[in-house]
Chain A
């Protein structure tokens, strides 16, 4: 017994550098964010930064609106895609996954810029069509940018989840009387819920906090919360910037926590 305990403690020491690292470079920076959020230029404690956030509520709401719409479209477009991929022949599946990974590994800036070049006022689309549509600078363009940039993040987790579902589930469902649509709505969708939740998180978080997409595709006409944070820090307004970051982080971590609670219950059910 003693031996075993000693050995286990010794081995846990392997985690020590990481714990040290995590405290120093994960926890401490976040504490500093909190510190800045609650102090003024002179370092004195204040609630002013938090209170001033009232002015930013419309920006929060706009960011939330655009990113929720984008996430919903990603789900709507991505779920069927993931489903079709998971039902394809195994050798085709690999190719599809690769085709999804490639845009994912292509830098976000490049991807965003590539659609901007197409949608711009003097861009490829207007040149080809001979029109002068004004797309960049609209909400639609920003939402399209988010969907385009983050769609693979929605598809891959859902695809993984569906392809792990026992094939007998399909057979059992149709054996018990489900038609093709009912098999999906009654059995497969509920069983792929954990994939949907992680897909939603993986799209929602970067969409809500983006500043590059809105800078390029928003055409400078409106500001999202990411732009606000970036502007605060570039102009040296660390305290207000810290306060906005803090609030955004708390909101996001809470919503991830809530969603994970859901999916954990779900998964727990499968595993135990």
Chain B
């Protein structure tokens, strides 16, 4: 009885979560412009989308931005995590941590407008006539900044967990501190670094609010494109774009989960063998 109730509850909540997304995907195959009446199957909107140069430019921009900001934030963030771990002064540690977490805690809109004002002032002070000329740089800085706390949050626990003994062993065996970090510590905290990077990549890919306030006119990302599409009456081409994005995310999610499934399977088998 109880089991059934909880099963029904699960199904209900997941149904509510998924019905809108699935309807949207369905209507991307509609053969008319209607988003309420499914009149027949067609790939019309996908063809239209693939002929749309803007969509490709936006996709390219999004990927360039996501790759570069996730790389940059991973490098700075990993170094920062190591540095924070080494800090003796509790006060300094706390100060750095709280400042780092501000973009995570702050509503995106505040982070967005703070960057907007910052770059507006910068443009005025440096006497740059055209904001577009520093546009990509501004986007890169903004995205890297809001990704940083997530990278640090993902790496720092690994470093704390690893402790000092491995580094000390490396130093004892003749590594310089820098070598000890790269040859011994980094490989051991790699899972944290990678998951931080994936997190940063996805966050950058997904961001709309901050990009909305920072983006120059010549650098549109996919979320911004979707936003501009939904400003007018929406045609199913936006649905088609959304469907492609959803399916991509879904595939990536499944791939990463299958990997972890396999891993846990191995662990279980190992354990079973030992017992």
The residues of A with any CB-CB pair to B shorter than 8 Å are 7-8, 10-19, 21-23, 25-30, 32-33, 36, 77, 80-81, 84-85, 94, 96, 98-103, 105-111, 113-115, 117-118, 120, 122-124, 126-127, 148, 151-152, 180, 201, 205-206, 208-209, 211-212, 216, 226, 229-230, 233, 238, 241-242, 245, 248-249, 252-253, 256
Contacts and interface: CB of A to CB of B under 8 A. Distances in A.
Nearest to A14: B83
A28 B103 CA distance: 13
B208 A11 contact: no
B32 interface: no
A98 B253 contact: yes
B35 A15 contact: no
Contacts of A226: 107, 109
B223 interface: yes
Contacts of B115: 25, 29
A17 B76 contact: yes
Interface residues of B, number: 77
Contacts of A30: 102, 114
B57 to A, nearest CB: 18
Contacts of B226: 107, 109-110, 113
A249 to B, nearest CB: 5
Given A29-B117, A110-B226, A249 B202 contact: no
Contacts of A109: 208, 223, 226-227, 230
A25 B145 contact: yes
12 contacts: A11-B82, A18-B80, A25-B118, A26-B103, A32-B118, A100-B17, A107-B206, A109-B230, A110-B226, A117-B27, A238-B117, A245-B110
Interface of A is mostly: helix
Nearest to A16: B83
A209 B99 contact: no
Contacts of A201: 105
B21 A108 contact: no
B83 A151 contact: no
B118 A28 contact: yes
Given A15-B96, A36-B117, A106-B246, A117 B23 contact: yes
Contact of B80 (A15, A33, A85): A15
Contacts of B80: 14-15, 17-19
Contact of A206 (B108, B144, B202): B108
A94 B254 CA distance: 11
A88 B18 CA distance: 21
Given A18-B79, A109-B230, A253-B105, A148 B21 contact: no
Contact of A14 (B16, B86, B118, B230): B86
Interface string B213-236: 100000000110011001000100
B37 interface: yes
A30 to B, nearest CB: 5
Contact of A105 (B23, B141, B202): B202
B31 interface: no
A249 B117 CA distance: 15
B36 A27 contact: no
A64 to B, nearest CB: 13
Instruction: List 5 A-B pairs, minimum CB-CB distance, nearest first.
Output: A15-B83, A18-B80, A209-B107, A29-B114, A14-B83
A109 B249 CA distance: 15
A226 B27 CA distance: 30
Contacts of A110: 21, 24, 226, 242, 245-246
A105 B206 contact: yes
Given A14-B83, A148-B20, A252-B107, 4 more contacts: A25-B144, A29-B111, A107-B242, A205-B105
Residue of A7, A32, A109, A115 contacting most chain B CB atoms (<10 Å): A109
B66 interface: no
Given A102-B249, A118-B23, A242-B113, A15 B84 contact: yes
Contacts of A233: 113, 116, 213
A77 B253 contact: no
A15 B79 contact: yes
A108 B208 contact: yes
Nearest to A84: B6
A17 B100 CA distance: 12
